[in-house]
Chains A and B, each alone.
Chain A
Amino acid sequence: MAVATAGRRTAFRSRLGRKIQDNLMAYAFMAGGIACFALFSWYPLVRGVILSFQQINFVTDPYWVGAENFTAIFDDPLFFTAWKNTLVFTGLALIFGFFVPLALSILINEMRHLKGFFRVAVYLPVMLPPIVGVLLFRYFYDPGFGLFNTILRGVGLPESQWTQSSSTAMISLVLVSTWANLGGATLMYLAALQSIPGDLYEAAELDGASAWRRLRHVTLPQLRFIMLVLLLLQIIATMQVFIEPYQLTGTSNPDTVTVMVLIYRYAFTVNQDFGMAAAMSVLLFVVLAIFSAIYLRVTRDRD
């Protein structure tokens, strides 16, 4: 009897021992990954919120300043300019970046030839480092010897100052951004188009539906989900616009200063004020989190 209990106890202990050992083993495999997430994703999130209520000077410890960072950014006249510009950029980028990829993908999908070429060509700009597209367009936009004004002159249209005039600066930034990024959305639409069952078109055709009606009543309804998803992703991405204004119009140009540019300015150029930059980041985060939550909701309902 005593032997049996002891045997059971050792069996239990060894099972427990193996379980602990297995867990230790598993966490050893994950240690590097978890450490990187903890240091560069989870901790910065908390630190960012704390920092927005603190001031740091890299000499003494950070100290609490209450809501001063927030009142400081609200007092900055560039604050509202930056949000307005960001919304204008996002809005203009939607007008181009939302409908153009849709139209292009429908066109490509109807083509019986050169499909591979179209797919590669439209995605090529997405592969390039963003700085390449931006600097390339800087030359195209040059009011003196740039290609765009040459073309405008050639077809008899008035020339434009492009990035150097406050009325066209923003639209110029949107053009580069759209050129560089529309390939991704186009290919995603294309994949969605290819998964529309052909029977639907055939049935519509038998009912005597014209091509236009087939587009409106078969194609577009079938794309509703992917259109909504890409719309949200695009809003989230374009609200974080940085490289185009940073490189083409500079960080101190009120015509094109965006939220991200202002965060960069606060922290690294004019103010050297990480508290203000963190406060601005928290605001941007809250706005983007709203769109992220909608996105999460939409994609989860689909499952």
Chain B
Amino acid sequence: MTITAPIRPLPATPPAAAPPRKRRASSGGVTRTLFSETEISRGKGRVLYWVVLTLVFVLFLAVFIFPLYWMFSSAVKTPEEYAQPDPTLFPHSFEPETYRLAWDRMRIAKFFGNTALYAFGGWLIQLVFQVGVAYALSKLRPMFGKVVLGGMLASLMLPATALLIPAYLTVTDVPIFGWNLLNSPWALWLPAVANAFNIYVLKRFFDQIPNDLLDSAALDGAGRFRVLWSIVLPLSRPVLGVVSIFSIVAIWKDFIWPLLVLQDPETQTLSVALSRLASTSQVPPTQLMAGLAIASVPMIVVFLIFQRSIIGGLAAGSMKG
């Protein structure tokens, strides 16, 4: 629980909107760092550089990649091999059916489906509501718009956990409407909309779309919604992409909130179900490993595909001025 970037990030310039002056790399050559090229490419420095590079590579492989390899590979061991006091680096036995057993018998399939439903539904509803707010604040500029924005941004300063108890009670009995959202997808979807960071990023991006463009469309008789749909949204694809990735990843990774509001095992997310299954002794440990691996695959895939946006968004979040 050290730095969980998209949850409480710095007020950021949206990555896609970052001014082009940052791209210094294109102005020729390598950026100068602590050591110069000559120090690294000659004599003793060269040897030292390759030694350090190898050591760092091995260190990263062992610390960050190996645990994942361990997870995927130990799931295919037989339970006997798995539990022997000297763990085997390469599985001697090979039982890929463990993955299928976990999927069917541990009902990972069900929880996987739940989580996917929560992530995609939450993504859709967040995008609709957050784009609506950002568009109105940026382009329609209503009265008290600044107050609304201020109230939303103020919530960034509230640590989520401090609101956990009252938010839980709110979900059990939503004021005015009187709904009980426990064990329903809405218990994850609606609170997810209250994410000021996404609204801020979207608004900052919309602000940079010239008003003339929208005015001329309005003169041609396009309504507010039409302008949003056919002009603003197509221009905003990059920022919509970043916001989408972050909201899907956040729901997939979330733990404590779904733990509280989805107590019925049938409705649980993969993370909460794995936590519950791990605390019972009936589940074979190899199947649990397979479950962990299955829960990780979508995030690994998302990361490998969108790593530029994710790392770029993170870097932009840390750079100000």
Query: Is there contact, CB below 8 Å, between B260 and A268?
Result: yes
Q: Report how many residues on chain A are interfacial, defined by Cβ distance under 8 Å.
A: 123
CB-CB under 8 A from A180, the residues of chain B are: 1-2
**Alpha-carbon distance between A113 and B199 when the two chains are bound, in angstroms:** 38
Query: Is there contact, CB below 8 Å, between B1 and A240?
Result: yes
B63 within 8 A of A: yes
A-B contact pairs, 6 of them (CB 8 A): A97-B3, A132-B296, A187-B314, A243-B256, A281-B166, A285-B162
Give the secondary structure class of B's interface.
helix
Interface residues of A in 104-138 (CB under 8 A from B): 106-114, 117-133, 135-136, 138
Query: Is there contact, CB below 8 Å, between B53 and A121?
Result: no
A215 within 8 A of B: yes
A257 within 8 A of B: no
Interface residues of B in 267-281 (CB under 8 A from A): 270-272, 274-275, 278-279
Query: Is there contact, CB below 8 Å, between A29 and B132?
Result: yes
Contact of B165 among A27, A34, A123, A267 (CB under 8 A): A267
If A147-B70, A195-B319 touch, does A127 touch B157 (CB 8 Å cutoff)? no
**Alpha-carbon distance between A56 and B302 when the two chains are bound, in angstroms:** 43
CB-CB under 8 A from A234, the residues of chain B are: 2-3
Contact of B314 among A39, A188, A278 (CB under 8 A): A188
Query: Is there contact, CB below 8 Å, between B165 and A205?
Result: no
A302 within 8 A of B: yes
Query: Is there contact, CB below 8 Å, between A263 and B253?
Result: no
Count: A-B pairs, CB below 8 Å:
344
**Alpha-carbon distance between A211 and B39 when the two chains are bound, in angstroms:** 10
Contact of B3 among A37, A47, A188, A191 (CB under 8 A): A188
Pick out which of these stretches binds chain A: B26-34, B90-98, B207-215: B26-34
Query: Is there contact, CB below 8 Å, between B163 and A244?
Result: no
Contact of B318 among A125, A131, A191 (CB under 8 A): A191
Pick out which of these stretches binds chain B: A7-15, A18-26, A164-172: A18-26
Q: Report how many residues on chain B are interfacial, defined by Cβ distance under 8 Å.
A: 115
Contact of A281 among B85, B165, B190, B199 (CB under 8 A): B165
Distance (Å) between the CB of B56 and the closest chain A CB?
Answer: 6
**Alpha-carbon distance between A12 and B57 when the two chains are bound, in angstroms:** 72
If A181-B3, A184-B314 touch, does A30 touch B133 (CB 8 Å cutoff)? yes
Give the secondary structure class of A's interface.
helix
Query: Is there contact, CB below 8 Å, between A29 and B224?
Result: yes
Binding site for B on A (CB under 8 A): 22-23, 25-27, 29-34, 36-37, 39-45, 47-48, 51, 56, 93, 97, 106-114, 117-133, 135-136, 138-140, 144-147, 150, 177-182, 184-185, 187-188, 190-195, 198-199, 201-202, 205, 211, 214-215, 218-219, 226, 229-230, 233-234, 236-238, 240-244, 246-247, 260, 263-264, 267-268, 274, 277-278, 281-282, 284-285, 288-289, 292-293, 296, 299, 302-303
**Alpha-carbon distance between A63 and B162 when the two chains are bound, in angstroms:** 22
| Per-residue A-contact encoding for B267-304, CB less than 8 Å = 1, 0 else | 00011101100110000010011001001100110111
Distance (Å) between the CB of A263 and the closest chain B CB?
Answer: 7
Please name the residue on chain A nearest to B6 by beta carbon.
A184
**Alpha-carbon distance between A215 and B148 when the two chains are bound, in angstroms:** 45
